[in-house]
Amino acid sequence: MLLNPVISKLAGKRVVLASASPRRQDILSNVGLRFEVVPSWFKETLDKSLFSAPYEYAVETAKQKALEVARRMHVKHLKTPDIVIGADTIVTLEDTILEKPFDKQDAYNMLSRLSGKEHSVYTGVVIVHCSSQEDNHLETDIIDFYEETKVKFADLSEDLLWEYIDSGEPMDKAGGYGIQSLGGMLVESVHGDFLNVVGFPLNHFCKKLAEMYYPPSKQAIHRVKHDSIPYVESFENLSDIEKDCTSPSKTCKANKGVQDHVCKASSSASSTPCTSSLQNGIDERPKICTQELSIITDLLDGFKASKTLFAASKLKVFDKLKDKGALKAMEIADKINASVHGTKRLLDACVALGLLENTHQVYSNTNLANTYLVSDATFSIHEYILFLNDHAWSYFTHLESSVIEGKAQHHTAMKKTCDKGHEGKERSMRLMHCMLKIAARDIVTAFDLSKYRSACDLGGCTGAMAHELVWTYPEIKINVLDLPEVIKHTSPFQPENLDSSRVTFTSGNFMEDSLPEAELYILSRVLHDLSEEKLNHLLRKISDACCPGKNALLIADIVLDEEKKEPRGPLQALTINEEGTHRTGTEYKKLLENHGFNSVQIKTTGNLLDAILAAKR
């Protein structure tokens, strides 16, 4: 297959698809391409009248989507991708772009126009190569192309039209149909790439990759670095427009649209004409680098985004939309007993954050929301969000006081939760279950644990890690050891098909009692919270129970990067008690080696927790 020769070229590279479309993901996954999905926040409101041909609009939209993701990952996430793929598919009839229908009548009007006629489907595709320069400037090299496929509809009867419309499929599809699903029954013929109509021209994409990585000659391919047209209504700030930022004392290069914006802002902010600061035609005033400034502005707005997520979760907005599909702001307001005005602002903010979709004033969940934010979803983090909102948030509100006084925010927050008796204890356990359920699969598959036949999860709480272990390794049996007041409340968290012969629960205190015999010991979110004295005491106990070549210790916790620049760990450290600490991989390795574990493997999972496997040779 055409793509196969370049797979090795992409191995080890951070390849990102700037699209949430499951159809595009399936097309690329089916040919073996490994990639991350980072949906773009670019708001698709480019002025169509600026483009002489419909395909130019599709290419430019794809370009803006890909560039927004590349810049956001570089500046905000501090993870520069190697390649970002952007795509945009449009349906045109007689050079008129057909949008997604906003209601059933609009869908009927659209499909009636297509009935018996041939129309064009264009997909614009952009491949952005990214590199981070010494001054942390993002360098991009852009290759773009488009594919056109001709599609002819059969003459459609009224009954067939309405049968299809009533299925609900047209409502989120450009042109009002999806050829890969029920919409295929409307199509009489296709001339060109079928997958292009589905959403991604795979053949053309493969050819482009082959040209890029296996060019026939140096003269065969002419690559041009593009300057996109000025951005229109993105959710990001000026940092998202292509620029070359050096130090504040040097010129910050941007396209003409941004220069005009900065010039007007400078003029309006000063009573002195712009020319007054020019000497020999050179502006010697200090320059503002908007890419640097955006790091600060993103931090300033970070709490707003968090609180928006918290409020929507607390009001169960995502649950209402999961149950009803798509609703107007007025309908959602009625279901959450809130004002229409306030609800609409909250919904629009969630759209801007990529949590909801808005099609002609009708709101619906994104795949992200359905997977993680709906309270009863398999991988829901709803309980964790409520904990952050109801407890952790208040301590961060007074962080400066906590720094001065040295009080343990996380300990106090959890104590406040547990002080509410049975209800507080259950909520604390739901929080722990939520976090481990999300992280467990990446932890138990970080290393090959198939050699171990028995395990003991020390402080295993609800058994979330144990459940994942027995699912992944059919031969293993696990004993979950925790305090009596925890064990007696574990029943509601057990899956219906739990094999009680493989997962057992034992009351005990692993700090004080003798450890049960096991080939594999597990500690999840324990070590970072212990004082040095308690930490060394526990590791000595586990080390004494481990024999060379037979036993091992699996640790699930946050592992800091060596330079401690990734923000996740240091931010989390603000909430742990004053005796505990997070550690780098090197620090964990040294700690474990001091206790006789001379084989230490560390795996950064990218999930909530990282994995460490320590053993004696």
> Which positions are annotated as active-site residues?
88
Crossing angle between the packed helical segments 329-336 and 317-324, to the nearest 10 degrees:
120
Q: How many CA atoms lie within 13 A of 25 on its CB side?
A: 12
Sequence-distant (6+) residues with CB within 8 A of 8 are: none
| Cβ–Cβ < 8 Å for 200, 23 | yes
**What is the C-alpha to C-alpha distance for residues 102 and 112, in angstroms, rounded to an integer?**
15
**What is the C-alpha to C-alpha distance for residues 348 and 355, in angstroms, rounded to an integer?**
10
Identify the CA nearest to 472 among candidates 492, 493, 502, 501. Answer: 502
DSSP, residue by residue, 53-77:
SHHHHHHHHHHHHHHHHHHHHHHTS
- Does residue 138 sit in helix, strand or coil? strand
DSSP letter at 333?
H
Compute the radius of gyration of the chain from its Cα atoms: 28
Q: β-strand 187-191 against 118-132: which pairing, if any?
A: unpaired
What residue ranges in 203-301 does DSSP mark as E strands?
A: 243-244, 253-254, 278-279, 282-283
Sequence-distant (6+) residues with CB within 8 A of 278 are: 284
- Does residue 588 sit in helix, strand or coil? helix
**What is the C-alpha to C-alpha distance for residues 241 and 243, in angstroms, rounded to an integer?**
6
First to last CA, the chain: 45
What residue ranges in 12-160 does DSSP mark as E strands?
A: 15-17, 36-37, 83-93, 96-98, 118-132, 138-153
Q: Would residue 154 be called left, alpha or beta, if left means φ above 0 and alpha means ψ between -120 and 50 degrees?
A: beta
Residue holding tokens 């210790």? Answer: 553
**What is the C-alpha to C-alpha distance for residues 422 and 427, in angstroms, rounded to an integer?**
9
Q: How far is CA 539 from the centre of its chain?
A: 35
**What is the C-alpha to C-alpha distance for residues 520 and 611, in angstroms, rounded to an integer?**
14
